Amino acid sequence: MVFKKSLDQLLIEASESGEHTLKRTLGPGNLIALGIGAIIGAGLFVRTAAAAADHAGPAVTLGFILAAIGCALAGLCYAEFASMIPIAGSAYTYSYATMGEVVAWVIGWDLVLEYALGAATVSIAWSEYLNKLLQTFGISIPYEFCHSPFQVSTGGVYGIMNLPALFIMAVVTFVLIRGIEESATINNMMVILKVAIVIAFITIGWTYINPSNHIPYIPENVGETKLVNGEIGFWQYLTADHFGKFGWSGIISSAGVVFFAFIGFDAVSTAAQEAKDPKKDMPIGMLVSLAICTVLYVLFAHVLTGVANYKEFETAGKEASVAYVIDTYMNNYHWLSILVTVAILAGFTSVILVMLLGQSRVFFSMSKDGLIPRIFSDLHPKFRTPYKSNLIFLLFGGIFSAFVPGDVVGDMTSIGTLFAFSLVCIGVLILRKTDPDRHRPFKTPLMPFVPILGVVVCTTMMIGLGRHNWERLLIWMAIGFVIYFTYSIKNSVIRKAQQ
């Protein structure tokens, strides 16, 4: 028997008021800013150079476009769900109503990977950039207090704990506890700052583009050439690790890598229960923020790979690539390098804010459904925010921030999010079939092609991320199922009501 949430019951929950519901304070402008705040951050400033160096060269711009297409297709499906089901929980809530409790649990557990661990990872990057900014003023945080115990400097100094990373996680957590309205105001300020800096880099950097750096625009993939010429078979092409190393397959792989730069636009939907007019505002918030960021991303990547050759991002320009490009090639613009670093810190901060906001709201919904303990849905008596959940994730994420190295888990986060996007696209198809007469304030256009293409594009990007990330995803899901079958299945509100 498939245990599903009733859409009618969800709409009743969304319209409730009182001490156990979230305050509706966000308008379309707040939601667009929330989306941009979530999107522009670690992905743009870190993953762009990595994708160019390892996968696509200057054609990383095409990778951004492919990733944006996947997001747009999934976003149209998200928008239909968010306008129909204006309640906290994002893809988790949508899948519960369409595909049942088991799939909903998979999505909810998957979103822990996207939000909580993603926030911890970004906080570690925030620590690195803070240190770079302080060095500009002749100040340096001792190595042992900005690195984990598993890291050692070239001089043989071992890290103890990453205090700045833990600090920013704590500050953002307490801002969220104080209230979403205050959080949105702070986020709006950071969005204005980092968008201004991104535009400044694009505008000034455009005059420093060296056209030779864009030749060839799509670097050759030796394996693809041999495959087309019949020198090797398709299986040999895959097993020899040719796939994703430049060429057209490199563009697919780069799309999966830079997809991390788009993670967060779906976090807008987690705030549906706090939107003033969710039926109208949710589609606007998601799609407008996605469109603005896509244009900025493509222009940013074009300038970055035009000013410096993509091969430099393998070595000297690997870390803090944007600051490296400005300091190395854009004379007399050292001030811009400083401002870019400030913008990166603002970008990381807003990403952490939105990720932790999304995480607490997903677990708020899961707790109300009995799938995880009640403590995750306890609201603060004054601020009406899930403060206990925020504090628990501060502890959980803080451990990773302070004591785990900042190795790139972006690919793992991407594959988990792409999986969630695919299930949302499938959910729209299922609901159109099982409940065709339901009122839909926003309808996904060109049915069924948009959701089907959404699944195809997202799955293609998942394939581009390689075997190891699939293995990690399966291990994470296995841990989740252990929790589900030992706790959730016994405490599920829906199961108790329907049995």
What's the pLDDT tens digit per position in 6-16?
777 766 665 65
Q: What is the mean pLDDT of residues 123-136?
A: 84
Q: What is the mean pLDDT of residues 399-417?
A: 75
Instruction: Give the best-scoring range by mean pLDDT among 264-268, 315-319, 481-485.
Output: 481-485
Q: Which tokens belong to 56? A: 């696509």
Question: Which residues lie across from 152 on neighbouring strands?
Answer: 158
Q: What pLDDT is stored for residue 88 in this prediction? A: 52
Q: What is the mean pLDDT of residues 252-266?
A: 79
Using only C-alpha atoms, the chain has a radius of gyration, in whole angstroms, of: 22
Q: What is the mean pLDDT of residues 359-374?
A: 86
**Of the listed ranges 16-25, 234-243, 408-417, the one predicted with least confidence:** 16-25
Q: What pLDDT is stored for residue 1 in this prediction? A: 64
Q: Where are the alpha helices (DSSP H) in 85-221?
A: 91-98, 101-136, 163-178, 180-206
Q: What pLDDT is stored for residue 427 in this prediction? A: 85
The answer to whether 39 and 200 are in contact (CB under 8 A) is: no
Give the model confidence (pLDDT) of 73-86 as tens digits: 888 887 787 767 66
pLDDT over threshold 70, residue 321: yes
Q: What is the mean pLDDT of residues 60-71?
A: 90
C-alpha to C-alpha distance for 147 and 170, rounded to whole angstroms: 17
Q: What is the mean pLDDT of residues 264-271?
A: 64
Q: Which tokens belong to 185? A: 């105001």
pLDDT over threshold 90, residue 403: no
Q: What is the mean pLDDT of residues 182-208?
A: 79
Residue 273 pLDDT level (bands cut at 50, 70, 90):
low
pLDDT over threshold 90, residue 203: yes
Residue 356 pLDDT level (bands cut at 50, 70, 90):
confident
Determine the 3-state secondary structure of 386 from DSSP. Answer: coil
Q: Which tokens belong to 440? A: 């839909």
Q: What pLDDT is stored for residue 450 in this prediction? A: 92
pLDDT over threshold 80, residue 46: no
Give the model confidence (pLDDT) of 144-181 as tens digits: 898 888 888 778 888 899 999 999 999 999 988 887 56
Helices 28-39 and 180-206 pack at an angle, to 10 degrees, of: 60
Q: What domains lie within the chain, and their CATH numbers?
A: 22-494 (1.20.1740.10)
Categorise residue 89: left if φ over 0, alpha if ψ from -120 to 50, beta otherwise. left
pLDDT over threshold 70, residue 351: yes
471 Cβ contact partners less than 8 Å away, ≥ 6 residues apart: none
Give the model confidence (pLDDT) of 375-390 as tens digits: 888 888 887 888 888 9
pLDDT over threshold 90, residue 306: yes
Residue 485 pLDDT level (bands cut at 50, 70, 90):
very high
C-alpha to C-alpha distance for 121 and 118, rounded to whole angstroms: 5
Mean pLDDT of all residues in the chain? 81
Residue 42 pLDDT level (bands cut at 50, 70, 90):
low
**Of the listed ranges 204-213, 277-286, 302-311, the one predicted with least confidence:** 277-286
Give the model confidence (pLDDT) of 445-474 as tens digits: 888 999 999 999 999 888 888 777 888 888
Q: What is the mean pLDDT of residues 279-304?
A: 85
C-alpha to C-alpha distance for 64 and 61, rounded to whole angstroms: 5
Please provide the DSSP assignment of 183-245 as one string: HHHHHHHHHHHHHHHHHHHHHHHHTT--GGGGSSSS---HHHHHHHTTSS-HHHHHHTT-TTS
- Residue type present at position 20: H
Q: What is the mean pLDDT of residues 485-492?
A: 91
